[in-house]
Structure 1
Amino acid sequence: MVTPSGAHPLPGAVGLSHLSPYDWQAADGVRGGSPHLHLVCTEAYVVTGGRGAVQTLGPDGCRDIPLEAGSLAWFTPGTVHRMVQGDDLRVTVLMQNSALPEAGDAVFTFPPEVLADQEAYAAAATLPPGAGPEAEVAARRRRDLAVEGYLPLRAALLAGDDGPFRAFQRAAARLVRARVPAWRDLWRVGALAAAERTGAQLDALEAGDIAHLGEAAAYDSTPTRRAGFGMCGRRDEYAPPQMNNQ
């Protein structure tokens, strides 16, 4: 776990949260979260209880992956995913490049006219602070708007037409393009630095140098926010650690 001061990242500089998908029924009768994709991060679900599913859209078409206690599912950048609540589904979420999703590496499947307007997208995607009634109303409105844009993408893929899906991916990339330099900085001091530390430790071991073992330590943390409104459901969140090249 991370230190209270955030001085050391989780293994591999991953992010971690605990999630219970929304129980709200959408326009198609499905109970669940807001469909979206990530541009550079792979995401994994480790199911700790209950049952449900994750719907995915990708070059391989549409999938409905069942989830139950003990299941593991993951998807790579560009895959649209929608968490579906079945019966008290509970998931531990692992995110590649922990700081990047918190910095905006996610785009909702809003309708094309919203995706085409940076200000309109930001207004639809942003929730008020806190976990009170106002935030819940906004989270549900955001989910419904994402489902509104998602259903035509899914229907087109099921009909063998990947054009709308590809257009959504292009729109998502345009929305985040200006953030890439900041993301690169976060990657350098996060995932890249973690990999480079391992390389340096391997070099040291090969040379008979075990100085880094003298820095061994244990860490722990607790969620910094419980039952917050996330993209897919209510989340227990851990603050992304501040990373360095040490």
Structure 2
Amino acid sequence: MKKQAGIVIAVLVTVLTMGTAFAIQHYASASQPVSEQVTSRVSSSSSTATSSVSRQAATASRTTSKKKATKTKRAATSSHVKRQHQATSRATQTRTSKRHQASSSTKQAQSSHVTRRATQQSSTTKTTKSAIATKKTDTPTVHLVVSGYHKTFYDGRVKINSKSTAFSVLQASKLKLVYQNGVAVYVSSVNGLAENDVKVGSGWKFRVNGKFIDKAANKKAVVKNDTVHWYFTTKGY
């Protein structure tokens, strides 16, 4: 830039110098001989050449200005393209973020659905178990204990109905029984342990709720939550 300004100033100085010289020669040519006029014309030609150089310098300056304007325009275009690219990138990021959010919402909805189904299934299972437990609780039972000679043959609960007796409860234990059937049932052996095996007079007796029952086992009715105890005795009672 400084170099171009220096060229322009030099051209202007040259033009002014040549113009002044031309004017002086013009006024002096009227009184000068022909040879001097020729010299004056030569000087005039030099002035013309200098003017031509000045025009070329001006043209070069305009060319430089155009180049600067072109560079400025290109820079502006590049900036515009960059802004468009940034805007496109932001729009793409926004779409990607929305798709990610939509995907996350879908996954959350699916997870929530699975959780609800699991909860419903768990609730159904608990309800079923509760119903089964209730049913079991509603089923009437009695506590049966069968005691042999220094050994327990059975200890647990047995289901009963409205016709259950102390004898039917013993049958429900699935132990091996030997008995005389009739109007009054008499049990002589339980699980291989028979009367008189330990000594004469030993045999099987039963109690209901801790009380000795002086009647046949098939004649003693039992009800829910009773305790029936069959035992082998060597004392006769």
TM-score of the superposition, structure 2-length normalised? 0.16
Higher relative contact order (CA 8 A, sep 6+): 1
Specify which structure has the higher proportion of helix.
2
Specify which structure has the higher proportion of strand.
1
TM-score of the superposition, structure 1-length normalised? 0.15
